[in-house]
Amino acid sequence: MAVFIAERDSGYRGIWYQNQPVKGPLRYKYSGGFATYPQQHVPIAVYAPKAEKTFFVYGGTPPGKNTLWHMVSYFDHKTGTVPRPALLLDKKTDDAHDNPTLTIDGEGYIWVFSNSHGTGRPSFIHKSAKPYAIDAWEKVLETNFSYGQPWWLEKHGFVFLHTRYSKGRGLFCQTSRDGRTWDEPQPTAFIGQGHYQISWPDTKRGVLTTVFDYHPTPGGLNARTNLYLMQSRDGAKSWTSITGEPLKLPLTVTPNPALVFDYQKDGKLVYLKDVTYDAAGNPIILYLTSKGFEPGPGSGPYQWWTARWAGKAWERRAVTLSDHNYDHGSLYIEGEGQWRVIAPTGPGAQPGTTGGEVFVWTTGDFGTTWHKGSSLTPNATRNHTYVRRPLNAHPNFYALWADGNPLDDEKTLHTSRLYFTTKSGSVFTLPETMTENTAKPALFA
């Protein structure tokens, strides 16, 4: 396949996106700066110890135009700088559901999976021409997939969890040893009108966990509910429940052995946020529940939860409240019982809309009690959205997100910046305009 040299952009600018206008002052079901949206796209950032760089992808835009560019870049931990981001692809849409994901294989090659929202546009897989480099790329495959979650597992190669649209949102899995030749996609779940999922590997133990909701009939995605989990220990050849019970796939009915909590019987919606593992390898899920899909106090309370498998049963703990279903943050496990959530749980400059003011929440007792830290984004004039955790997160690049005004109208010249935080809480803005090939991100005041 031909190799092409990626153009370099003049700075870091995020895509603005809105979905489903609603009546009233809040304007949309969700909206704002969505460069790091959605939660079903993982990973979007990976720390590579051999290169001492955190590579990341995001949904960017050209100057003065709100159309989606797939951008690739990195933070160089040795120099504290970022390069001009590489333009991999013009997706020819303004739909942030088409945002990319990435993974890094065992030889250091970077693979970018360019998603599509449904079947109306093609999806792509690109591979970097050199290990740990973003200058040149090879287009490996043009196909179609949505909500891609590519994982490189050392003993198994690529495991690609994703969604395919056909009368709903069916969950599928594909595997490949080399990223070029792929097995046929295998269906894993299709209950009602389908699902959304999030996943994360435990690389130490060789476990891959996926967590998903379901979209009932009638109701669909705006009635998303329930919480399911399944795990694989053999590179997606087989899947089990949390107790090790083999699962016959695809799952097509509920309840089933993968069910964690039945929220449908309580009339609650479920919005997935993150999944990770405690020191013993037990999965922990971060999610939000509410009473309705429309923004505003009528759908509240917007309650954040953790659910941890404690060996014999699930422990469910309340974290905090926020003011919107699509307030999205990440969960970090930092020691025995010591957890951290970084999320826009404050109302922010545009209360009642997507995102808000970013806070750090910590617990030292497995989520029984939570402590609210200082704001990471005080006095921000726009809401901050979709705080994302890198794979193998380095303390100096601990989370990545964007900002934007969710109340903009579609004709506005949208502005969205990108940010990252250190573990200690220093927040930096990625440069919107660069005059040199590299630049140091500015400390956010």
Render pLDDT for 156-173 as a digit per residue (tens, 0 to 9): 999 999 999 998 999 999
Residue 222 lies in a domain: no
Name the DSSP class of 334: E
Residue 1 has pLDDT above 70, yes or no: no
> pLDDT over 70 for what percent of the chain?
100
Q: What is the pLDDT of residues 30-59, one digit of tens each?
A: 999 999 999 999 999 999 999 999 999 999
* Residue 194: inside a domain: no
Q: Give the mean model confidence (pLDDT) for residues 8-28.
A: 96
Residue 41 placed within a domain: yes
Number of domains in the chain: 1
| pLDDT tens figures, 205-252 | 999 999 999 999 999 999 999 999 999 999 999 999 999 999 999 999
pTM: 0.98
Range 103-117 average pLDDT: 98
Q: Which residues of 282-296 are buried (b: 16+ CB within 10 A; e: fewer)?
A: bbbbbbbbbeebbbe
Check residue 307 and give its pLDDT: 98
* pLDDT greater than 80 at residue 445: no
List, in sequence order, every beta strand (DSSP E) within 105-241. Answer: 110-114, 123-128, 136-143, 146-153, 157-165, 169-176, 186-189, 197-202, 207-214, 225-232
Confidence category of residue 410, pLDDT binned at 50, 70, 90: confident
**Per-residue pLDDT tens digits for 354-405:** 999 999 999 999 999 999 999 999 999 999 999 999 999 999 999 999 999 9
CA contacts within 13 A on the Cβ side of 149: 26
Give the single-character DSSP code of 97.
G
Tens digit of each residue's pLDDT (9 = 90 or more) over 290-334? 999 999 999 999 999 999 999 999 999 999 999 999 999 999 999
pLDDT of 64 = 87
Q: Is residue 359 part of a domain?
A: yes
- Tell me: pLDDT of 119 over 70: yes
Would residue 366 count as lying in a domain? yes
Any domain includes 237: no
Task: State the average pLDDT over residues 176-183.
Answer: 97
Looking at 313-416, which runs of residues are DSSP E strands?
314-322, 330-335, 338-346, 357-363, 371-375, 383-388, 399-404
Position 27 pLDDT exceeds 70? yes
Q: Is residue 390 part of a domain?
A: yes
What's the pLDDT score for residue 190?
Answer: 98
Give the per-residue pLDDT at 412. Answer: 78
Predicted pLDDT of residue 247: 98
* Residue 62 · residue 421 · CB < 8 Å: no
371: domain range? 3-144+268-439
Please report the pLDDT score of residue 414 as a whole number: 86
Whether 139 is covered by a domain: the verdict is yes
